[in-house]
Amino acid sequence: MLLLLHGALGDRTTLASLRDALVARGETVLDALEFEGHGASAPATRPLRLEHFVSQTLDWLDAHGPAHLVGYSMGGYVALVAAARAPERVRSVFTLGTKLRWSPDVASDAITQLDPEVLRAKVPAYAAQLAARHGELHWADVVRGTADALCALGDAPLLTDDTLAGIRCPVRITLGDRDRTVPLEELRWLMSHVPTASACVWPDTPHPLDRAPLPLLADAIRAFRSACRDDASNPAPTAPPARG
């Protein structure tokens, strides 16, 4: 069974199209987790932190049992940390567009547009979309909280050489060839530390999930999960290349 994890500024609804594509292929998607403080969930009562999202994911796995994790962007980072901390609860990890290496400088660059007033002025349609997603009264808090969370991640990354050494399950890292947020060197770094990891690059694909080739992505997730199902020690999971 699959658990889907959304990206920064997202919520469970942003995964609906991917979920539909997976279900259409016969996959059992158990849930699309909504991180605390996002979407229709109650406003956050503490600062947004990836550490909290990892704990929330592990709590879900405690309640429902081991699962295959599929994470988009920030969700992929959360999935990898969860796999390192609780290898017995994560059967596999599949990511798309996940930034893997963080530092204060990287975080500073990433948050340049995470200002509600800047978004209102420069991209009002996107600001309206965020308001519809998180609520008119709370979307600005989600944006500011995400900026704060990325700064905290830059100061103290959760994925390090030592953390990656704890990952035992099969991992598939995927990236669009037009995604400017994740250098290919980061994929090589992860694969050099996680023997069970493999990667593929999607052609003509930028970062936004709604511009990814969802049917091909769903096929790749299904093939990858099937290859490593009930065999988390599989050192070389295979899936069709991301070519259409």
For the stretch 164-206, pLDDT in tens is 999 999 999 999 999 999 999 999 999 999 999 999 999 999 9
Q: Enumerate domains of the chain plus CATH numbers.
A: 2-100+158-228 (3.40.50.1820)
The residues, any chain, with a CB within 8 Å of residue 104's CB and separated by 6 or more, are: 151, 154, 155
Rounded to whole angstroms, the Cα distance separating 30 from 38 reads 19
Q: Are strands 171-176 and 197-202 parallel, antiparallel or unpaired?
A: parallel
In the prediction, which pLDDT does 96 show? 98
**76, 52 Cβ separation under 8 angstroms:** no
Read off the amino acid at residue 108: S
For the stretch 99-119, pLDDT in tens is 999 999 999 999 998 999 999
In the prediction, which pLDDT does 217 show? 96
Rounded to whole angstroms, the Cα distance separating 214 from 105 reads 32
H/E run at residue 70: strand 67-72
Question: Which residues, given as ranges, of the chain have pLDDT below 50?
Answer: 232-244
